Amino acid sequence: MHQHILVVEDDADIAESLEYNLRRAGFRPIVAESGEKGLHLALDKRARPKLIILDLMLPGMSGTELCRRIRREPAAADTPIIMLTARSSEADRIAGLDIGADDYIVKPFSVKELIARVNAVLRRSEKEEGRIYRDKRLLVDREAVRVECEGKPVKLTRKEFSLLEHLIDNIGRVAPRQQLLDSVWGYSYFGDSRTLDVHIRRLRQKLGSCGGSVETVIGVGYRFVGCK
């Protein structure tokens, strides 16, 4: 399935060139000529972009403000952004990265280089997506071993975190009790299986209002359904 790329650019010639070349590269480009329209398309659930190419000099809402707005929206906060600008100073590049851009390209630019940057940023993003789970209320960052429920940190033991990881890996599916014991405690574990129930109960308690994301399937095991 082709990935949607949102291009926010008010220069019609540049926008047309980007649209043509992104399509040739196998993407599905969507063009917005203003920051306001760009914000609307960035949050569009029907065709949410996998990456945004954003010109800084836009009429109305500037590219800088649009970037800030996108980063404040939970639904789009992790969407990679590549900024386009005529400003080439180090200070400008640093400022762009500081407000949330993932890459920064100075005009005039090579379309081949831009496509290569798009692919590189998408590859990084896909690797990071595999390490982070996020829904409306729950965040689990495996790399940082960090959990948040409704923006508040949740302190888990190593075993509790491993349990949550395994459940997330099987989201929507039932994880049998023995599978969880084998995965978290190891194949050599022959202790009381009630240990699992105790850890699940503590995990739910610590997750607080997100505890309902772990369901019990009586006689089988547990299932992670997320916080909706």
- Comparing 220 with 123, the larger pLDDT belongs to 220
Kindly tell me the burial class for residue 147, based on how many C-beta atoms sit within 10 Å of its own C-beta (0-12, 13-18, 19 or more).
buried
- Let me know: does 42 contact 52? Beta carbons within 8 Å: yes
Question: What separation in angstroms does the CA of 101 have from each of 38, 53, 175?
Answer: 15, 10, 38
Instruction: State the pLDDT confidence band at 1, using cuts at 50, 70 and 90.
Output: very low
Residue 120 has pLDDT above 50, yes or no: yes
Question: What separation in angstroms does the CA of 165 have from each of 16, 125, 135, 184, 223?
Answer: 44, 19, 15, 10, 12
The correct answer on CATH 3.40.50.2300 for the domain covering 4-129 is yes
pLDDT tens digits along 75-110: 788 889 999 888 766 666 677 777 788 888 888 889
Q: What is the spatial distance between Cα 29 and Cα 45, in angstroms, rounded to a whole number?
A: 16
H, E, C per residue of the chain: CCCEEEEECCCHHHHHHHHHHHHHCCCEEEEECCHHHHHHHHCCHHHCCCEEEEECCCCCCCHHHHHHHHHHCCCCCCCCEEEEECCCCHHHHHHHHHCCCCEEEECCCCHHHHHHHHHHHHHHHHHHHCCEEECCCEEEECCCCEEEECCEEECCCHHHHHHHHHHHHCCCCEEEHHHHHHHHHCCCCCCCCHHHHHHHHHHHHHHHHHHHHEEEECCCEEEECCCC
Question: What separation in angstroms does the CA of 218 have from each of 52, 93, 174, 175?
Answer: 45, 55, 10, 12
List the structure tokens of 51: 């990456």
Average pLDDT, the chain: 87
Q: What is the spatial distance between Cα 52 and Cα 49, in angstroms, rounded to a whole number?
A: 7
pLDDT tens digits along 205-216: 999 999 999 999
Q: What is the spatial distance between Cα 84 and Cα 5, in angstroms, rounded to a whole number?
A: 14
Return the domain boundaries, the chain.
4-129, 133-224
The correct answer on CATH 3.90.180.10 for the domain covering 133-224 is no
Residue 9, CA atoms < 13 Å, CB-side half-sphere: 24
Q: Which of 5-19, 56-70, 88-102, 133-147 has the lowest mean pLDDT?
A: 88-102
Q: Supply the pTM of this predicted model.
A: 0.59
